[in-house]
Structure 1
Amino acid sequence: MRIELGGAFADLLNEKGKGSGGNEMAYVERSLGFRTHDLDDRDLRLVTDIVGGTIRWRRYLDYLICSLFHDESMFRSMEPLLLQILRIGCYEIVKLDMPPYAVVDENVRLAKVALRHGAGNMVNAILRKLVSLKDRNSLPLPNMEGNDRAQARALATIYSHPVWMVRRWIKYLGQERAIRLMVWNNSDPSFSLRANCAKGITRADLVTQLNVLKVPHEVSLHLDDFVRVKTGLQAVIQAGFLKEGLCSVQDESAGLVVSVVDPQPGENIVDCCAAPGGKTLYMASHLKGQGMVYAIDINKGRLRILNETAKRQNVDGVITTIHNDLRAFVDKKLLKSDKVLLDAPCSGLGVLSKRADLRWNKRLEDLEQLKNLQDELLDAASILVKPGGVLVYSTCSIDPEENEERVQAFLLRHPDFSVDPVDKYVPADFVTEHGFYFSDPVENSLDGAFAARLVRGS
């Protein structure tokens, strides 16, 4: 309910890498009057899975619940807490394959304690009906027949995404690839760890530590400092790896954006929308103590976190934070840099596997506003690039209107810039026909990301 109504995150980890499970359990105590126990690692993983999965599959779960009611008006008027309990129960039965009797019993007790006796009876009836349908392999499914709109609506229900996203992906990718993308978004996310070379930690050192913790992992095929983990992130955090600055949680797709920037010792680099600072810190580690990364951001609190992390990772000597709106900052004409990175605010359509809540927080109208903002920020960022310097525009979106189209529109407005193909900086799998960097979630098994490297004429 906090995620859906209050903007909380779907993971029990905050951006400092600290567990927020204690805060959430305290909130449960305050709001529902339950006494809660401390969660061990296993329970913390299960809670995170249930919360994330229930949010991710919300549209499909609501379809199941509504089908079992046979009365849409009754479903629509259901109180929010009862609906959440039913969603959790449905998710556990249909997607987690937990023992049905335990799921029914637990959620009936929850409804009785959190609401009233009658609510428990309703949960009992609905979940038992669901178990019966699942046992007979006859769960309801939306009708795939009809025109393109009807098919998109059915697919949006089956794979639990907003209809506008599904229609957009079918338009750009075709139905088969759109389905593959939704399957990826609904799968358990994997995370990558970056060994912090600025503290003398190599990937081999990180692998040794992961072996000690018995955390399953595989080394990145694309970046020398990165290791991929599917499970065990909580163990890494509790062992203090992030707190001590030994490594960072960072997707390889973001690391490859830094490869496109290609930061070198002695350079002055501006990171235009820097916070929370993953790319800033990685670029700073490349400078080997020589040069400077100027991290500009409008959010003062997140810049403070960036400064704290920079100290832990031993790169604070080459990072200067600047609290400002980029568009206001460039008016002062105080800075010209070798390289400028604009990791622009975007829809985040490339990171939906990690951000279970994000798909429900975005609307089609948001894209139009974002495109205008991206254009404004690109124009502002270009002012900071010295003659012969480099401007890298990146997003964590897979939408061409936020990516290639923004670059093409920028080049029409700024003929003194031209595309520098990225094939010298990233593996060929990630290079588009126009010389841009693009990571495809389905093809590359990474978050979706885009970057264009643009050079200013001298």
Structure 2
Amino acid sequence: MTPAARISAAIEVLGDIETRRRPATDALKDWGLSHRFAGSKDRAAIASLVYDGLRRKASAASIMGENTPRAVVLGMLRLQRGLTVNAIAALCSGERFAPEPLTATEREKLEVATLDGAPAPVAGDFPEWIEASLTRLFGEDVVPELQALTTRAPLDLRVNTLKVSSREEAHNALPHLGAVETPLSLLGLRIMPGEDGRGPAVQSEPEFIKGWIEIQDEGSQLAALISNVKPNEQVVDLCAGGGGKTLALAAMMENHGQLYATDSDARRLAPIHDRLTRAGVRNVQVRTPRGGADAVSDLNGKIDCVLVDAPCTGVGTWRRNPDAKWRLRPGSLEVRVKEQATVLDRAAALVKPGGRIVYITCSILPEENDDAVEGFLSRSKGFSALPASEALARAGLGRLTDLVRFTKSGLQMTPLKTGTDGFFVSVLVKG
């Protein structure tokens, strides 16, 4: 497919997403099934165009003066890809499979494209209804913080110290991937996305199959490290899901002590077993809930650290899931806030005196972060929030002090400040 044909396809897919109100992955999959002539590189390039269009949907529509799929793609090519007006016009030739030529109005809009004076939701490309929440956290930095969430995320890897002696050993084994060491996590390697938005097929690498590396955002690695779990502790990963943080905790514990991995949804735990085996983890006991029963009720009052990787809206992952921002609704936030309260209250019963809850979300909304923690502290006697600076010091992460945003009850990582996804972490200590 020609570059122009790929743009036409992206406009078609965005139209399908808008008309049928469904996730981009579904629309892209259906497009690929109905256009089997398109090769893998074509499909990847089209997906990249679609996701970039969704990243800049509000700002692109604003500079073009209309919110159509074509306008979004044209505006995105100017704002996100940095194409000149003449370059865009060359792609829109109207020839076979190419978009129709630019109109005089479209050319004029592209020539004078600017976001100067645009409202924050337009300049920052986010839903207007969360502006007040974001302003609570970021103040005057709302636009630059949210613009950082419109960029493409790198592919981060965590080196598994149960299998590899050092990050350097893993790095030296993967020179063909072009990885660099992550700046904040001493266990991380980073691969920047290519022009088509794709990264290498890491899962097929021998080092991945042998368990040397795991795919994990640097922010997620740091969140696990802030838990400061130690060998021989008793630890519960209460929302373990597929086991990403479970694996990180097990490595920190050096396979000593006991780590219990559970989740309220048994289906989310399905991938964890193979991952534990591949990673060489021996101190994890997977507790799968049966018939709605609590799988860790026998551990009440016995646990040193409960990790709560809470269900959330995922606003902090918009670099990776840009279509999620436009599907976010107030009702879904309300549901997540209730779920967070439930899981925090459950965690409280597990912690022994002197133990701690490490509350984590991949969100930047105060309702899911500080508000959730403050609500928990008002309900649960004996708990207090450890000052985030102290939590970093205890975990040997003092180098983050000048990079994270300290909040009332924890700390916030963001793409702008830390180059990671948007993670919130709060350490809650039981007296």
TM range (shorter): 0.7 to 0.9
- Match for 1:277 among 231, 243, 263? 243
1:222 corresponds in structure 2 to 184
Name the stretch that deviates more: 195-204 or 425-434: 425-434
CA distance in 2, matches of 1:207, 1:58: 37
CA distance in 2, matches of 1:314, 1:9: 36
Offset of 1:222 from its aligned partner? Answer: 2.5
CA distance in 1, matches of 2:184, 2:115: 40
Structure 1 length as normaliser, TM-score? 0.76
Say what the alpha-carbon RMSD is for the aligned residues: 3.3
CA distance in 2, matches of 1:299, 1:439: 27
Structure 2 length as normaliser, TM-score? 0.81
1:205 corresponds in structure 2 to 169
Letter paired with 1:359: K
2:255 corresponds in structure 1 to 289
Secondary structure class of the residue paired with 2:202: helix
2:45 corresponds in structure 1 to 46
Letter paired with 2:112: S
| 1:165 and 2:140 correspond | no
1:28 corresponds in structure 2 to 31
CA distance in 2, matches of 1:451, 1:58: 30
| 1:360 and 2:309 correspond | no
2:92 corresponds in structure 1 to 104
Residues 1:284 and 1:364: Cα distance change in structure 2 (over 3 Å): same
CA distance in 1, matches of 2:295, 2:48: 44
CA distance in 2, matches of 1:54, 1:449: 24
Letter paired with 1:323: T
Letter paired with 1:203: R
Letter paired with 2:59: Y
- Match for 1:189 among 144, 148, 153? 153
2:100 corresponds in structure 1 to 124
Offset of 1:209 from its aligned partner? Answer: 3.2
Q: CA-to-partner distance for each residue in 1:329-373, whole Å, 9 max, x for gaps?
A: 179445532211111111222222222122112123433332222
1:437 corresponds in structure 2 to 411
Secondary structure class of the residue paired with 2:267: helix
Offset of 1:244 from its aligned partner? Answer: 3.9
1:416 corresponds in structure 2 to 382
CA distance in 2, matches of 1:343, 1:326: 23
Letter paired with 2:40: L
Aligned residues: 400
CA distance in 1, matches of 2:378, 2:256: 35
Confirm or deny: 8 A CA contact 2:312 2:363 kept in the other structure.
Answer: yes
Confirm or deny: 8 A CA contact 1:90 1:130 kept in the other structure.
Answer: no
| 1:396 and 2:362 correspond | yes
Name the stretch that deviates more: 418-427 or 339-348: 418-427
Offset of 1:303 from its aligned partner? Answer: 1.2
Confirm or deny: 8 A CA contact 2:315 2:422 kept in the other structure.
Answer: yes
- Match for 2:421 among 415, 429, 447? 447
Q: What does 1:331-342 correspond to in 2, within 5 Å?
A: 332-335=297-300, 336-342=302-308
Residues 1:157 and 1:455: Cα distance change in structure 2 (over 3 Å): closer
Name the stretch that deviates more: 284-293 or 338-347: 284-293
Secondary structure class of the residue paired with 1:369: helix
Confirm or deny: 8 A CA contact 2:410 2:424 kept in the other structure.
Answer: yes
Secondary structure class of the residue paired with 2:214: strand
CA distance in 1, matches of 2:259, 2:45: 40
Residues 1:131 and 1:434: Cα distance change in structure 2 (over 3 Å): closer
Confirm or deny: 8 A CA contact 2:358 2:425 kept in the other structure.
Answer: yes
Name the stretch that deviates more: 428-437 or 383-392: 428-437
Identity %: 25
Letter paired with 2:170: L
Secondary structure class of the residue paired with 1:124: coil
2:5 corresponds in structure 1 to none
Letter paired with 2:185: L
Q: What does 1:36-185 correspond to in 2, within 5 Å?
A: 36-40=37-41, 43=42, 46-63=45-62, 67=66, 84=69, 87-92=72-77, 95-96=80-81, 97=83, 99-105=87-93, 109-110=96-97, 124=100, 127-129=102-104, 132-133=107-108, 137-139=111-113, 144=117, 154-175=119-140, 177-185=141-149
CA distance in 2, matches of 1:9, 1:242: 28
| 1:231 and 2:219 correspond | no
**Please, which runs of 5 or more residues in structure 2 have no aligned partner?**
1-12
CA distance in 2, matches of 1:284, 1:326: 28
- Match for 2:277 among 311, 322, 339? 311
Secondary structure class of the residue paired with 1:274: coil
Offset of 1:231 from its aligned partner? Answer: 2.6
Letter paired with 1:181: E
Letter paired with 1:205: E
Q: CA-to-partner distance for each residue in 1:185-222, whole Å, 9 max, x for gaps?
A: 11222232111112225211232234233x1x432333
Secondary structure class of the residue paired with 1:253: helix
Offset of 1:228 from its aligned partner? Answer: 2.5
Q: CA-to-partner distance for each residue in 1:397-432, whole Å, 9 max, x for gaps?
A: 222232222222222222222233413223233473
CA distance in 2, matches of 1:331, 1:223: 31
Residues 1:378 and 1:257: Cα distance change in structure 2 (over 3 Å): same
CA distance in 2, matches of 1:352, 1:374: 20
Offset of 1:327 from its aligned partner? Answer: 8.8
